[in-house]
Amino acid sequence: MKFSKLSQLFLVSTIGLTGSTLLTSCAINTIDYVFVSNSAGSSAGSAGQIQTYDADSGTGALRPGQPTVPSGGVNPVSMAVTADYANLYVVNAGDSTTAGNVVHFSVAGNGVIAQKDVLTSVTSPLAVAVNAAGTYLYVVSGPSPALITAYSLSSGAIGSAVASVALAVPGFTSDTIVPTGVNVLANNNAVYVAGYDKSAYNPGGATTSSANPGWVFGYVVGSSGALTAAANSPYKAGIKPSALVSDPTNRFVYVTDFASNELIGYTIQGGSTLDFLINGPFKTGNEPTAIAIDPRGIYLYITNGLDSTVSAFEITLSTGTPSVSVSSNGGQTNTTDTTPVAVIVDPSIGRFVYTANQLGDTVSGFVLNPNTGALDLSISTPYPTGAAPTALAAVPHGNHAIQAVSP
C-alpha cells in the first residue's frame, strides 16, 4: 500500500510522538544522568543552557530529567566532570558581544545541578579538563594568544591560576595556533593539548608559514601545578587535529585528524613523552570531530561529522592498536543524527554510547556490546534537545556501582 507524502509525514510524526510518550510515561531504572549543553535558541546572542536526561539501565534510552538550567553564558562548547562526579564545569565561548567564561556547577545525587562560581578572567575559552585528583582545572583558550592555564580547585571551587603556558611551535613562534581539545592523564602526571597552525593551514585563506599544520602539545605537571613541556613536545599530529583522549592506564593517546580523516595513535613513554604507534595512522569516517574511550580502556568511539556516523574500534591492549569493530548489521559505522560533534560512554557500566548532533538538535543513543565493542541503536533514538547541542557529560546515579577500570 502506498501513502502520499503528507500521509507518510503524518505517520512518521505519529510514531515518533507515540514512542516519546511511551518512553516518558514508563518508569525507568536510572543508571546515569546525561548532561547536554546547547543554545536556548538559534539566533545570535542566544544564551546557553544545560539539559539533564535520565538514562535507563536496561536500554540506555534517555528521557528528560531535572529542569533545564542556564549555562551561565553564551555558546557553551565544552564540559567536564570531576572524578567523584560532584562537580561539572562548562565552557561558554561567548560571541561577538558577550565574553566567554567557565562556570562551575555542583551535581547532587539526584542529578540536580546548581551554579556555584564563575571564572571570567580567561579570554576566548575553548575547552576544559579536570584531573582525577580534583585539584586542577585545565582551560584551553585562544587563538591570539593560544594558552593552556591550570587553575587550582578546592572542593570543586575554582581558585587562582597556578600556571599558564603559551602554545607555540619551535621555530615558528609567531604563528597563530588554534587549540581544539585538552586531555589530562588519569594519573594526573601529564596534560595534552591538540591544535593546528592556522598560519600553515587556512583553507580558503592565505598561509604565511611552512610549519607542519597539526600538533599535540604535552606538559608534565609538577609540584604546585607547574606545567613544563614534555620531552620533544610539541608532537606532529597530521593536519587538523580535532579531539584527543588518553586511555585509563596512561599508556596511549589518540588524536582525530579532521582534515585527513584519520586517527593518530601514540604510546606514552617515560610518563609523558609521545611516540607514534608504529602501524598508524588509522582510517576514520569523514571529518572526525570527537573521541571517547570506554571505562575499561578496551573500546574507542569516534564521531564523523560529515558522514553523521560514529565508528567503533577495539584496542589491542598490548600495543594500543585500534581495529574496527563490525556492528551487528555488518557495517563498520553506525548512523547518528545530523553532524555529531561530541561522544561519551556512560560511566556506570560502560554499556551505552551517546553522541550530540549539532545540526540535528538531538542526542543519538547506542547500546555497546561488552564483548566486541559493536553498537546497536537504543530504543526511541534520537532524543530531542535544544538548539545546536555541542557537548556531553555524564555522572552515575547514586545507587549504582561504577564500572571498574581493569583492562
Please provide residue 23's backbone torsions phi and psi, each rounded to the nearest 5 degrees: -65, -40
Q: How many residues does the chain have?
A: 407
Residues 121, 189: Cα–Cα separation, whole Å? 25
Residues 142, 311: Cα–Cα separation, whole Å? 29
Looking at the predicted structure, is the pLDDT value of residue 312 above 70? yes
pLDDT at residue 96, rounded to an integer: 86
What is the residue whose three cell numbers read 509525514? 9
CB 161 within 8 A of CB 153: no
What is the residue whose three cell numbers read 606532529? 236
> Over the stretch 20-77, which tens digit does the pLDDT of each residue have?
444 444 556 889 999 999 998 777 767 999 999 999 999 999 999 999 999 999 999 9
Looking at the predicted structure, is the pLDDT value of residue 98 above 70? yes
Range 4-23 average pLDDT:
40
CB 189 within 8 A of CB 165: no
- For the record, the C-alpha cell of 60 comes out as 540506555
Looking at the predicted structure, is the pLDDT value of residue 401 above 70? no
Bridge partners of residue 119, in order along the sequence: 102
251: left (phi over 0), alpha (psi -120 to 50) or beta: alpha
Range 246-266 average pLDDT:
98
Residues 261, 289: Cα–Cα separation, whole Å? 10
Lowest-confidence range among 19-23, 249-253, 268-272? 19-23
Range 343-351 average pLDDT:
95
pTM: 0.91
- Of the chain, the percentage scoring pLDDT greater than 90 comes to 83
> Over the stretch 297-310, which tens digit does the pLDDT of each residue have?
999 999 999 999 99
Residues 317, 82: Cα–Cα separation, whole Å? 26
Q: Categorize the per-residue pLDDT at 328 as very low, low, confident or very high, splitting at 50, 70 and 90.
A: low
> Over the stretch 161-209, which tens digit does the pLDDT of each residue have?
999 999 999 999 999 999 999 999 999 999 999 999 999 999 999 999 9
Closest CA to 189 of 149, 246, 127, 104: 246
Range 275-290 average pLDDT:
96
* Three-class secondary structure of residue 224 per DSSP: helix
CB 299 within 8 A of CB 315: yes
Strands 362-368 and 375-377: antiparallel
CB 93 within 8 A of CB 39: no
SS3 percent helix, strand, coil of the chain, rounded to 5, is: 5, 50, 45
- For the record, the C-alpha cell of 319 comes out as 600495543
pLDDT at residue 28, rounded to an integer: 67
* Three-class secondary structure of residue 18 per DSSP: helix
Residues 102, 171: Cα–Cα separation, whole Å? 32
pLDDT at residue 10, rounded to an integer: 38
Strands 87-92 and 76-81: antiparallel
Looking at the predicted structure, is the pLDDT value of residue 271 above 90? yes
What is the residue whose three cell numbers read 539539559? 51
CB 32 within 8 A of CB 347: yes
Q: Categorize the per-residue pLDDT at 360 as very low, low, confident or very high, splitting at 50, 70 and 90.
A: very high
Looking at the predicted structure, is the pLDDT value of residue 405 above 60? no
pLDDT at residue 1, rounded to an integer: 39
Q: Which residue has the higher pLDDT, 407 or 35?
A: 35
> Over the stretch 379-400, which tens digit does the pLDDT of each residue have?
999 999 999 999 999 999 865 4
Range 229-250 average pLDDT:
98
Calculate ∠ Cα 64-65-70, nearest 5°: 90
What is the residue whose three cell numbers read 609521545? 274
Q: Which amino acid is at 254?
A: Y
pLDDT at residue 232, rounded to an integer: 97
Helices (H) and strands (E) in the chain, counts: 1, 33
CB 299 within 8 A of CB 351: no
How many C-beta neighbours within 10 Å does residue 116 have? 16
pLDDT at residue 45, rounded to an integer: 67
Q: Which amino acid is at 82?
A: T
- Rounded to the nearest integer, the mean pLDDT of the chain is 91
> Over the stretch 132-160, which tens digit does the pLDDT of each residue have?
999 999 999 999 899 999 999 999 999 99
- Of the chain, the percentage scoring pLDDT greater than 70 comes to 89
What is the residue whose three cell numbers read 538559534? 42
Please provide residue 285's backbone torsions phi and psi, each rounded to the nearest 5 degrees: -75, -170
Strands 147-154 and 190-197: unpaired
Lowest-confidence range among 10-14, 67-71, 83-87, 204-208? 10-14
Q: Which residues of 236-267 are buried (b: 16+ CB within 10 A; e: fewer)?
A: bbbbbbbbbbbbbbbbbbbbbbbbbbbbbbbe
Q: CA 270, 274, 277, 280: dihedral to nearest 10 degrees? A: 170
Range 285-291 average pLDDT:
98
